[in-house]
């Protein structure tokens, strides 16, 4: 029932009619310029199941990995804040939060944790993305198709990059009987505590949904609230240290944010590019503007 409810929520959201914002042009020449711009811009990949979508996995992964080299002041501040909070938790709070949470586990907290767990479980989200995509294909809903494919790509790229960090770090979980400062490093069998895969997956999903439906004010609030509950559930389950969850959530958010921005919807991209332009015609020039 939990899985059916979760899928129903996403299918219901995706079935709402979302009309693409269309640019209104003052001359025929603008249409040709837009088509040329879309074709030549290597960062814009249509979100439909075709070869361009497959290739976008490489472009988008490269964009995620190289993004820190082009951070602006705001990005650096955000990174510093996340690092400071995660570091403070690691040094001062991880062990205390773990001890307190396990002393206060109840039937209610266990039940609540089980309800939100699927939001961070990749096995459920592969199914969710597939059903949302299928809904788009059957009902000719471009928004559903787009969201389904973005969820799928986000989960795959987050999963691969997250596993690389996990295997490299080798941090021991609380349920391993370890202390908050026990790290094994790369070894086999590996330890998987840092960063939290559930936190990364939940915030990756929440970010895609929040960005795609940002014009519905309640959606980002609900999406990030559910992701946060998923994060808290991993403390209740004694599966992660708090710093694991902070870093995992940050990775899921920023990786998915980069991926979604790699696939701008055409109406938004056109408005960003054009504004007023002076265009040549057969008999002179035309002043054109997109809205």
Q: Which of 230, 207, 228, 229 is nearest to 219 (CA)?
A: 207
- What does the alpha-carbon distance between residue 16 and residue 144 come to, in Å, rounded to a whole number? 9
Q: Are 217 and 167 in contact (CB under 8 A)?
A: no
Which of 120, 146, 117 has its CA nearest to residue 133? 146
- CB-based contacts of 100: which residues, under 8 Å, 6+ apart? none
Q: What is the pTM of this model?
A: 0.77
Series of mean pLDDT values for 10-residue runs along the chain (291 residues): 40 35 32 34 63 94 96 96 98 97 96 92 87 93 94 96 95 94 91 96 97 95 96 96 98 98 71 44 49 43
- pLDDT computed for residue 189 by the predictor: 84
Looking at residue 266, its pLDDT comes to 66
Cα distances (angstroms) measured from residue 245 to each of 25, 116, 145, 174, 230 = 48, 15, 30, 13, 10
Supply the pLDDT for residue 239. 96
Q: Give the model's pLDDT for residue 126.
A: 85
């Amino acid at each position: 029932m939990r899985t059916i409810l979760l899928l129903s929520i996403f299918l219901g959201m995706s079935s709402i009619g979302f009309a693409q914002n269309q640019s209104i042009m003052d001359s025929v020449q603008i249409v040709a310029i837009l088509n040329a711009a879309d074709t030549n811009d290597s960062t814009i990949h249509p979100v439909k199941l075709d070869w361009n979508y497959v290739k976008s996995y490489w472009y988008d992964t490269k964009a995620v990995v190289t993004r820190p080299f082009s951070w602006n002041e705001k990005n650096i501040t955000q990174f510093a804040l996340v690092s400071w909070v995660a570091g403070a938790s690691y040094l001062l709070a991880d062990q205390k939060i773990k001890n307190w949470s396990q002393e206060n586990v109840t039937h209610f907290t266990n039940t609540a944790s089980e309800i939100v767990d699927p939001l961070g479980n990749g096995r459920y989200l592969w199914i969710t993305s597939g059903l949302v995509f299928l809904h788009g294909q059957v009902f000719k809903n471009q928004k559903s198709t787009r969201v389904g494919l973005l969820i799928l790509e986000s989960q795959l790229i987050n999963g691969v990059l997250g596993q690389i960090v996990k295997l490299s770090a080798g941090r021991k979980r609380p349920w391993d009987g370890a202390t908050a400062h026990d790290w094994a490093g790369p070894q086999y069998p590996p330890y998987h505590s840092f960063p939290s895969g559930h936190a990364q997956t939940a915030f990756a999903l929440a970010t895609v949904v929040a960005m795609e439906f940002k014009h519905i004010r309640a959606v980002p609030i609900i999406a990030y609230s559910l992701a946060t509950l998923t994060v808290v559930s991993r403390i209740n389950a004694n599966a992660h240290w708090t710093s694991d969850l902070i870093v995992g959530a940050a990775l899921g958010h920023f990786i998915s944010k980069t991926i979604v921005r790699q696939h701008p919807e055409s109406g938004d991209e056109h408005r960003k590019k054009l504004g007023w332009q002076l265009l040549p015609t057969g008999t002179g020039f035309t002043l054109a503007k997109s809205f």
